[in-house]
Amino acid sequence: MKAILALEDGRTFPCQSFTGPGETGGEVVFNTSMTGYQEVLTDPSYSGQMVTMTYPLIGNYGVNPEDIESDKIQVSAFLVREYQGFPSNFRSVSPLADYLQAQGILGVEELDTRALTRHIRDAGAMRAFISTQDPDPSSCVEQAREIPSMVGQDLVKNVTTHVPYYWRNGKPVFFDSKNISLDRNVWKSKREKYSVVAFDYGVKYNILRCLESQGFEIVVVPAATEADTIKAMEPDGIFLSNGPGDPEPVTYAIESIKKLLDYAPLFGICLGHQLLGLALGGKTFKLKFGHRGANQPVKNLLTGRIEITSQNHGFAVDTDSLKGENIEITHINLNDNTLEGFRHKEYPIFTAQYHPEASPGPHDAKYLFDEFKAMIKKKKK
């Protein structure tokens, strides 16, 4: 089925839908990972975005129920060069097209993804519109221009959980609000395990798996949970998750974090890193085309080691805005020298802009979860 992809700057690309008729819009971005398309599709940090895979053949290993990073597909559309509808993998349970169709997500192929990627790289990530129903390029361009800009939008409210839950044995166990309240009695293994509250700004499941592998008892709370509620729970540590979009409009999260800076050890990843930066007085800005893929080089300034990392973000913290006697820059991106991590010298706080849990991607930075546990252990002594 013929389709057209129209960008807000007027450029259009012919393509074909492999999921049937439909139309949708969002910010169009590209991901350079060679594998892991199912994890990309279900990453809440992609809310409001159409993802282009630079690797040319997608769908060859199908999909399965184990490689998901949230409870549903999060992208607004999936753009590939060539779709393979006959997967060959012992873990596959269905073709990718069936998975997309079941959730009403448009997938297109026969798209010149190399040209699109080069265009985004030069002109920047931008709004776009796809349609199988409207063949008029100018009409589709106008619809792309009517899509709200990513800047200034609070997308966290679209992906956060509305009900707190335990993370146990690799799965969410949702609270029965009649029997469980958010206070110190919420913990079932307080004496045997360190307790961690995880703010859900769009958390990936593999982050929670990594926290659980450290032996933590984990309670995941909605993004708008207030600081007083967290203090009533008396956790040993606080985790700030990844999430989509612009961090500046997520003012309720920033205000809660400010009140928790000196309360318990804090670890922020991706959006959590950015929100911590804002809470400490820093500023954020939108990257031209973002960092999305599993091969981003990061230098650990504390050890001198180079880590190959998995990343997915379109905003960054301004390094100069964070400079102060209590802030130490710990990691930088070697492609563009943007900030990838910092720590506080007075409070037990540290962050990573990239994804140490990977999924997909390398595990060079998984040690950060060990450091979080060590920080909690030190605080408890």
Token match 């001198």: residue?
A: 304
Q: Where are the beta strands (DSSP E) in the chain?
A: 2-7, 12-17, 23-31, 49-53, 57-58, 77-79, 82-83, 106-109, 126-131, 165-168, 171-174, 195-200, 217-222, 237-240, 266-269, 284-300, 306-317, 327-333, 339-344, 349-352
Question: Which of 177, 157, 167, 172 minimizes the C-alpha distance to 211?
Answer: 167
The pair of three-digit structure tokens given for residue 356, joined into one six-digit string: 């140490």
Token match 């559309």: residue?
A: 77
Residues in the chain: 381
Pairwise CA distance, residues 297 & 287, whole Å: 17
Positions annotated as catalytic residues are 270, 355, 357
- The enclosing H or E element of 76 equals none
DSSP line for 79-131: E-SEE--S---TT--B-HHHHHHHTT-EEEES--HHHHHHHHHHH-SEEEEEE
